[in-house]
Structures are given as structure tokens and as C-alpha cells.
A = this chain, B = another copy of it.
Amino acid sequence: MTSWVSNAWYVAAWDAEVDVAPLARTICGVPMVLYRKLDRSVVALRDACPHRLLPLSLGLREGDSIRCRYHGLKLGPDGIAEEMPLRSDPVNRRVCAESFVTAERHRFVWVWVGDRALADPALIPDLWACSAPGWVFDGGYTRVAADYRLMIDNLMDLTHETYVHAGSIGQPEILDAPIEAQVRADGVFVSRWMPGIEAPPFWRDALKADGPVDRWQVCRFLLPAAVMIDVGVAPVGAGATLDSHDHGVRGMVVDFMTPESETSHHYFWGMARNFDIDDAGFTARFKRQQGGVFAEDKAILEAQQASIAANPELGLTAYRIDEGGVRARQIIARAIANGETA
């Protein structure tokens, strides 16, 4: 029994991480090798040669195939043998490495872990802001030595910004805004609505206007392991509401936590925005800044994971602020128990 949903799409890599050269990455406990074919589509195979288990990621690319660096067994992009170690030997097509269904969407490479027959691209989490017209998106990758659910907890409660990010993005006013958690068919939502406030400098610059604004923060969890945080401001009176707020400037923090093991995960993070979309310098600066913020989270979560191990008699407790994370975990647990696809 794992702590993650088995039949689901997980982000394996940023689109730019996967190229002709093989990339090794363990996804949901399975060592995988990822590479692109000549048509740029992505291959994902178990990262072990079916012959003597040498990682295929050490192998040599040949056309769309990969040849093991040990004895030269050559496998096609479907994982099936194309040439035996002795070239004169007849090919045994039952010799194969497990292959995984992949997809590319929203700037991420996705793999389906679990039953191949159930892999439906329509089930890829709808991280719409990453690829919507009029929006621009970029971000980065951080490996975190902590249970992926600890990062979901973290993102579903922005209270932590005040302390963890005291030196960067933390703002005490966040603590004063009432929050509301909701479980809906399309995810778990934790919302904050801050009407008629003075815009903080970041948002005033984005809006390019003075005057009072309505501000929102909506954290949304999507199965199997995504969090999108919808943030922005609109001038008071422009008509923005918690449910509909495309009147001002808007950003979408996009986070995907792919389990590596029970106590580590791959953290893919970024921000999409609908303002200054042609300003590549802003994109680059913001990515660097965001990387710094998430390095703060990484330090906290890894300390938390170590403390969980060092205090086996203690359990996590939850207060009102944790409701979003609690609900997200319930949905994960239910999907695991029911064998549901995510």
C-alpha cells in the first residue's frame, strides 16, 4: 500500500528536461528512463535493462531506440527488444522493459503510473493557466526529501508565509483575512477575499494603477498531487468576485508534487500570469525569486520529515488553518482505498 494514487498522471519532468539524452528519474517508486524520439514524443521505460538490469539511462541512443551500455541489448521505444547482445542471435520480442504511457501538456511531461489500459489523456489535471492564450508560464524543479503530502499541506495553507517566508514574501495581513475551505467536484478550495485594501507593491506594479483594490488568494488541490494558487488584484468596483476575477491582474502559482518514495518527492513549481506577458526579464527574475522562496519551504519540510522520524510516538495534528490540507489528504486516501483513477 503506497501513500499515493496508483492510476494517475504524474508530472515526470519539465518539457525542457527531457531530450535526446536519457534522463533517469524515479516516479512513484519506479525507476524510469525518459527520452525523446526523433518526432519529439517522449518515451518512458523502466530504467533497468531486461537482461542484467543495468540502468538503461546509462545506455546509448540509436534512432528512436536505446542500446544498453553493458551487453548492447537494443530496445525500441516501446521497450521491446530489437537486437540481442549477439547480433546474430534471433530477436526474442518477449524480452522487454516495462514501458509507460506519456503525454506532454501544460509544459510538463506526464507519465501514467498504474494500469496502462486506463491511461486517458483526458484525465491529465487541468493546469489550464500554464497553456492558456494571453498567459505566460515558467518555473523550476526541486527535489524535496519529504513525503509529497507535506508539500500539499504546505501549499493549501498560506499562513506559513508569515513565518517561513518572513524574509521574502511573508505578510502579516494574510493572517487577518478570513478563509473558507470547500470541497467541490473539481477540487479542494481554500479561499481568501480581501476587499478594498491597498495593493501591495508587487500587485500595484502589475496593475500599473494606484487606488484601492480587491485581492484574492484561492488555493486549489487537484488529484493526484497538484495545487494551483490563484492570486491577484482588481480595482475596487471593477466587478471582480471570489468566483470570477479576470478584471485586473492575475497570477497562478502552479505546483505539482510527484512522489519519488514514501519520504521524498519531485517538486515542480512555477507561475503563470496574464500581465506583462512579453517581459522575458520579468519571467526570469520571478522564477529566480520563486526558486528562493521554495528553497525556504524545502528546508522546513525536510526538517519536518526528519522530526516525524525522530518522534515516532507523535502524530501531525490539524487546526482550522489546515482544513485545506486535511481535505486534500482525505480525497487522496479515498482514491487510494477505492482504487479510483485520479
Contact = CB atoms under 8 A, between A and B. Distances in A.
A257 to B, nearest CB: 16
A321 B46 contact: no
B85 A303 contact: no
A52 B300 CA distance: 11
Interface residues of A, number: 49
A84 interface: yes
B53 A311 contact: yes
A187 interface: no
A31 interface: yes
Interface string A161-192: 01110000000000110000000000000000
A88 B48 CA distance: 54
A51 B319 contact: yes
A264 to B, nearest CB: 13
A229 B120 CA distance: 54
A23 interface: no
Interface string A291-326: 000000000100110111011001011011100000
Interface in A2-44: 26, 31
Contacts of A163: 60, 67-72
A160 interface: yes
Contacts of A164: 69-70
A71 B159 contact: yes
A84 B320 CA distance: 10
B55 A320 contact: no
A89 interface: yes
A310 B46 CA distance: 11
Nearest to A54: B304
A46 B308 CA distance: 12
A95 interface: yes
A71 B307 CA distance: 16
Contact of A307 (B31, B89, B95, B319): B31
Contacts of A71: 157, 159-160, 163, 321
A47 interface: yes
A54 B302 CA distance: 9
A60 B163 CA distance: 9
Given A31-B307, A85-B321, 6 more contacts: A26-B310, A47-B307, A48-B314, A53-B314, A70-B163, A72-B159
Interface of A: 26, 31, 46-48, 50-55, 58, 60, 67-72, 84-89, 95, 153, 157, 159-160, 162-164, 175-176, 300, 303-304, 306-308, 310-311, 314, 316-317, 319-321
25 contacts: A26-B310, A31-B310, A46-B311, A47-B307, A48-B314, A50-B314, A50-B317, A52-B304, A52-B317, A53-B311, A53-B314, A53-B316, A55-B303, A68-B163, A70-B160, A70-B163, A70-B304, A71-B159, A85-B159, A85-B319, A85-B321, A86-B159, A86-B175, A86-B320, A95-B317
